[in-house]
Amino acid sequence: MTVQPATPRAKRILMVGAPGAGKGTQADAIAKQFGIAHIASGDILRRHIAEGTTIGRTVEDIVNKGELVPDAIIMDMLRKPVMAANESGGYVLDGFPRTVEQAEAAYRIAGTLGVGVQIAVHLEVPEEELIRRLLARARGADDTEDVIRHRLKVYEEKTRPLLDYYAQRELLIQVNGARPVAEVTWSIVVQLQRAFKRPSTHATPSTRQPVDRAVA
């Protein structure tokens, strides 16, 4: 019989970045590296739309226009997979939270479950590079140039304020995402390993990370 070691602290990572910043790619790599789940709110929504579920029919127009889906739908949709992942090592959440309101709601729920500490990873990529990547990837209805510009505007208005939120409350890791994929992954993994070694990852001003410029 194999004796399991005491369950280590679950690793809870949030990817924050504009559309095209590489959140999905990096979340995948980080999830593999640490053996945890990759949960992508956009992927789950697209699956609902493809399958024509009730949620899918409700959100289809919103997603295709690049607007944000109402918080209640997102919270309901993510609760089960997030709780399950939390029981089995942790997760990388990609695409959630998208607003300070969602972060606050997630924090309240996490607090009542005793799973409050999370680390946010911010992938910073200049806007011209984001537009270039998104046009090259052009995936379907949500990828016309107008919609791409709108999604970037929504990010600036609704999601970027999250960075201040995380810098104050939890740990924020800043990463330059305008570099080759493997280099970005390496940079994130190194900073996460450092963060996981700390006795507590609750943010205090001294736990804030400088902008990652070390890797050329």
**Contacting positions for ligand AMP (CB under 6 A):** 19, 41-42, 45, 62-63, 66-69, 74, 95-96, 98, 102, 151
According to DSSP H, which parts of 20-94 are helical? 23-34, 41-51, 54-65, 71-87
Farthest-apart Cα atoms in the chain, separation? 59
53/200 with CB nearer ligand AMP: 53
For residue 190, with 0-12 CB atoms within 10 Å meaning exposed, 13-18 middle and 19 or more buried, which class applies?
middle
69/178 with CB nearer ligand AMP: 69
For residue 91, with 0-12 CB atoms within 10 Å meaning exposed, 13-18 middle and 19 or more buried, which class applies?
buried
* Helix (H) or strand (E) segment spanning residue 177: none
17/90 with CB nearer ligand AMP: 17
11/151 with CB nearer ligand AMP: 151
d(CA 164, CA 69): 22
Shortest separation between residue 47's beta carbon and ligand AMP, angstroms = 11
Beta strands in 44-182 (DSSP E): 90-94, 119-124, 171-176
Residue-wise over 4-29: b if at least 16 C-beta within 10 A, else e?
Answer: eeeeeebbbbbbbbbbbbbbbbbbeb
* Helix (H) or strand (E) segment spanning residue 159: none
Shortest separation between residue 82's beta carbon and ligand AMP, angstroms = 12
Shortest separation between residue 118's beta carbon and ligand AMP, angstroms = 15
Q: Are strands 11-17 and 171-176 parallel, antiparallel or unpaired?
A: unpaired
26/41 with CB nearer ligand AMP: 41
Shortest separation between residue 179's beta carbon and ligand AMP, angstroms = 21
143/183 with CB nearer ligand AMP: 143
Shortest separation between residue 208's beta carbon and ligand AMP, angstroms = 24
C-beta nearest to ligand AMP: residue:
42
Shortest separation between residue 80's beta carbon and ligand AMP, angstroms = 15
Closest CA to 87 of 107, 115, 121, 106: 115
